[in-house]
Structure 1
Amino acid sequence: MDVQVQRTLVMPPPAAPSAEVPLTVFDLAAPTYHVTVLFAFSPPNPTNQALLYALAATLPCFPLLTAARLDRGGPGVARPCHVTGEGGAGALVIEATVPSSALSDHLPLAPSPGLARLHPKVARGAARHVLMLQINRFACGGIVLASSAHHQAADGHSMTTFLHAWADAVRGLDVGRAPVPYGPTALVSRRPPRCEFEHHAAEFLPLSSSHAAAREDKPPAEADDRHVDHSEIANVLLHDTSEFVAELKRRAQDKYTTFETVSAHVWRKITIARRLSTGDGDACTSIRVAVNGRGRLAGTDTLPAEGFFGNVVLTATCGARAADLASGILADAAALVRAGIRAVDGRYFQSFVDFGALHGGEGDEELEPACADEAGVLSPDVEADSWLHLDLHRLDFGCGGRLVGFLPGKVPQDGVVVLMPSLRNGGGVDVFVALWKKHASELNAIAYTMD
């Protein structure tokens, strides 16, 4: 794909005094990388000038997206934070053209090496900009809009809110509202705060001498996995038709949601593709599921009534013996997923907010996310995320253009699964999977089998 960069610019932060905004306890538990999503729109589309004008009108409502990321570390040194106002980094925007092909030549949108040219290059942990955008205009007038946002500033729900606000502004709708609440001061703990769950064991790993020793005592096989050739991790897209999803739900006794059913099915198939069920009879596998706490905290004073921008996501985990999962029925796997999700309820989220109030002071112990997998290998586990209800598939920038595809950017981490509503005729669910190439080929061969 011939992608030609025409211009790179920075949308400046609002003209306000610089301010350091500490990360919330949810931000500290979030992954420390940018999340990239590609959106393809058929022509006709707004001009780049219209997109940029609307972006300039929208960003002041979302100060964290023009902030600078300030990484710190070391004993007794303040934690990472965001710098808003005039000390911010602004939002990086790249304008590019694809003059030699039409958008339709690349549809349906599916993972491929060429897609990397359509989004900003993000060096892991190195990009100062929280938000980076690339507008790619094809010869036919179609566009692919790439959004890369740092996960410690925003989760999927927050980024969806921003993207819809931007789209509203492009269509001429009023966005003249106050900035969306963000940062630790917008989260309200109980008085006094009380932790009802052990969050050090679940969300964070305290950097103690015993923890460091445990890392050093890992067996050689695990140590070798710290040097992963990310080119050997394939990204694939499975398409589950509406009929296929309905049959999966029937086999799961029609008791479980689409996400619970499909994620359980994919978890089983990945376990089989990895051949975990044919080796050590005691091998275990787990699935981690991102849970949005906004609904669970609804009706409390914890979150601002007018919304909250940032992270309000925790991870639910459930596990099973690989042999039992592979040989068992789909309903049992879906029941495990449901039980894990329901365990992370409103009481658990409130306890986590209180944990943040008790451990959020500068100079307090450093909190390392328990979800960190720097090696890029989750095996024998799976990490599943649902975009089924994010409303990303309803984005509308006007002018008559239609969203015809959306997709995560390259994911170099084995075991990641994302469920999305399919934009193909007939609907269904698209399942994005990142997996070792040798396992991805086996998954493709068995992904649509019912056993």
Structure 2
Amino acid sequence: MKVREESSRIIKPSYDEDSPPPTTNYIPLGVFDKVTYNTHIAVIYAYRPPTPPYTTLELGLQKALSVYREWAGRLGQDDNGDPVILLNDEGVRFVEASVDSTLNQAMPLKPSESLLSLHPRLKGVLELVQVQLTRFTCGALVVGFTAHHLVADGHSTSNFLVAWGQACQGLEITPLPLHDRAIFSPRNPPHFEFDHTGVEFMNKKVDKLYPLVTNFMDQEREIVVHKVHFTLQFLANIKAKASSMNGSNKPYSTFESLLAHLWRVITKARALSGLETTQVRISVNGRSRLNLPNEYFGNLVLWAFPRAKVKDLLREPLPYAAKLIHDAVVKVDKNYFKSFIDFVSNKVEDEDLIATADMNKSVLCPNLEVDSWLNFPFCDLDFGGGCPYIFMPSYFPIEGMVFILPSFIGDGSIDAFIPLFEDNLPNFKQNCYSIE
């Protein structure tokens, strides 16, 4: 698939009022922004014809940017050197491209390097949002979208995308985002109920003394991203199995049950030593924990870290792993979030700490990191011709970084994108649909 770039330009917010807002203001990064990934994330959409013209998409994006001004700004610093989002309206990257084939000829869009040509590059980019619109000869449209994670988490980003679609249809953007990132005030006196060093943060000096060492043999091994589809029936079976030892308690969620299964299958495929410890990094949305509306715009995520010895994870039945996951997520509650706010506000600078969230690693083994998009309205991006018939993450060949999202089939089934060493893939495939 050869993608030809037709044009690339910067577009800026458009405002209804005669006098646009000042471009000298800024928003300090909030406590949860400072602990997230300092990188762009890319997603891919595909739409069947007829699709709207570029002009419609551009005008809609300009309107959405007037409501979500942060995306049209730039990352910078205030007079004290603290990180901020500059509300300077310098704009976002808007690329028009084409392919001399039908989308069906390029299908299926498997997780491979070819996906990287469907969105702008992710590194060395000043713009906080980038859009690439790629037309195929059949009239199909692929939208490649990148967004900087320091500005917003997946929930906020998907809300912005829905707003873009509303603006393209001439609809009122609703609900409006809540922009105030200064609402997370520490308690007086602060209460450090939990230890956040070694969890969300690590010591900068220790990081420099003991940098990540990747096994030389691992560097030589090929990483492939394998897409797995789980039907509604399989999900029901895995949930029943995972919850079979709960007694009268509430069954585990579909996500907890599926992740427990994947954790065990991936660990088995990796052929790890039984004495090794494996853990999973799971995002936990703080909006419900802190009684904040879904419209809060920014990052509001912490992580749960269930862990186990490999021998225990594989020897015990599925409910064991499901309980580890459930209990770890439950512990990241309101009190944990408040403890984190107190910690960031009082300890991080004093103790010279840096965030542990890092997408520069190429291998996570023996651990996993799981990004669940099951509850985000990503698939609701409708430019006027209906919702996408393909939605997927871009190509992220980081061994152990798993993406879980609703299948674009739309029947409630789930797709998982699982990067593994190529030599571990046969074992994974052999056990992927086996419910033990």
Same fold (TM over 0.5): yes
Q: Which position in structure 2 is the counterpart of 1:448?
A: 433
- Distance apart, 1:12 and its partner CA: 2.5
Distance 1:28 1:398 in 2: 36
Counterpart of 1:331 in structure 2 is 319
Deviations 1:295-336 (A, max 9, x none): 1111xxxx5x68321100011001111122122211111111
Match of 2:116 in 1: 116
The 1:62/1:443 distance shift into structure 2, 3 A limit, reads same
Q: Distance in 2 between matches of 1:247 and 1:297?
A: 33
Q: Is the 8 A contact 2:287 2:294 kept in 1?
A: no
Give the equivalent residue in structure 2 for 1:273: 269
2:84 alignment partner in structure 1: 81
- 1:84 partner amino acid: L
- Amino acid in the other structure paired with 2:29: L
- Partners of 1:134 and 1:146 within 8 A in 2: yes
Counterpart residue number, 1:350? 338
Change (3 A) 1:443 1:306: closer
SS class of match (1:243): helix
Cα deviation 1:114-161 (Å, max 9, x = unaligned): 2211011122xx211111111111112211111111111110000011
**Aligned match of 1:297:** 290
- Name the counterpart of 2:149: 151
Partner of 1:307: 295
Within-5 A mapping of 1:155-234:
155-175=153-173, 180-183=178-181, 185-208=182-205, 212-213=208-209, 215=210, 222=213, 224=215, 228=219, 232-234=222-224
Q: Does 1:397 align with 2:383?
A: yes
After alignment, is 46-55 or 424-433 more displaced?
A: 424-433
CA distance 1:201–1:66, shift in 2 (3 Å): same
Quote the residue 2:140 is aligned against: 142
Contact 1:395-1:403 within 8 A present in 2 as well:
yes
Task: Give the aligned partner of residue 320 of structure 1.
Answer: 308
Partner of 1:372: 358
Could you tell me how far apart the structure 1 residues matched to 2:128 and 2:371 are? 21
Deviation of the 1:340 alpha carbon: 0.9
Q: Kindly tell me: are residues 129 and 420 of structure 1, through their superposed partners in 2, closer, same or farther at Cα, counting changes over 3 Å?
A: same
Q: How many residues align?
A: 424
In structure 2, the CA distance between the partners of 1:223 and 1:380, relative to structure 1 (3 Å rule), is: closer
**Residue 237 of structure 1: which of 227, 232, 241 is its match?**
227
Residues in 1 aligned to 2:77 and 2:433: alpha-carbon distance in whole angstroms = 44
Post-superposition CA distance 1:90-124 (Å, at most 9, x none): 211111112x222233445431222211011122x
C-alpha distance in structure 1 between counterparts of 2:219 and 2:21, whole Å? 43
Displacement after TM superposition at 1:422 (Å): 1.0
Q: Determine if contact 1:249/1:256 at 8 Å carries over to the other structure.
A: yes
**Which amino acid in 1 is paired with 2:157?**
M
Within 5 A, what are the aligned runs for 1:85-100?
Answer: 85-86=88-89, 89-98=90-99, 100=100
Report what 1:252 is aligned to.
242
Query: Are 1:4 and 2:7 matched, yes or no?
Result: no
User: Following the alignment from structure 2 to structure 1, what is the Cα–Cα distance between the partners of residues 66 and 32?
Assistant: 23
Distance 1:59 1:367, change over 3 A: farther
Distance 2:174 2:265 in 1: 48
Aligned-partner Cα distance in 2 for 1:223–1:11? 41
Deviation at 1:15?
5.5
| CA distance in structure 1 between the partners assigned to 2:329 and 2:230 by the alignment | 23
**Do structure 1's residue 431 and structure 2's residue 416 form an aligned pair?**
yes
Structure 2 alignment gaps of length 5 or more:
14-19, 245-250
Q: Which amino acid aligns with 1:152?
A: L
Taking the aligned partners of 2:279 and 2:174, their CA distance within structure 1 comes to 45
Matched with 1:46 is 52
Secondary structure of residue in 2 paired with 1:403 = coil
Q: Secondary structure at the match of 1:314?
A: strand
- For the Cα contact (< 8 Å) 2:74–2:128, is it kept in 1? yes
Q: 1:178 to 1:262 in 2, by over 3 A?
A: closer
Q: Aligned partners of 1:129, 1:438: CA distance in 2, in Å? A: 38
One-letter amino acid of the counterpart of residue 286, structure 2: G
* In 1: Cα distance, 2:434 partner to 2:176 partner: 51
Map of 1:412-431 to 2, 5 A cutoff?
Answer: 412-424=397-409, 426-431=411-416
Shift of 1:20: 4.0
Cα deviation digits, residues 375-405 of structure 1 (max 9, x gap): 3211000011211111222322213x44111
The residue matched to 1:238 in structure 2 has which SS? Answer: strand
| Aligned partner letter, 1:23 | L
CA distance in 2, matches of 1:175, 1:233: 41
SS at match of 1:39: strand
CA contact (8 A) 2:32 2:301 kept: yes
Contact 1:42 1:103 in 2 (8 A): no
Q: Match for 2:368 among 366, 382, 392?
A: 382
SS at match of 1:199: coil
Question: 1:285 and 1:58, CA in 2 relative to 1: closer, same or farther beyond 3 A?
Answer: same
Aligned with residue 30 of structure 2, among 2, 24, 28: 24
Indicate how the Cα distance of structure 1 residues 249 and 397 shifts in structure 2: closer, same or farther if over 3 A, else same.
same
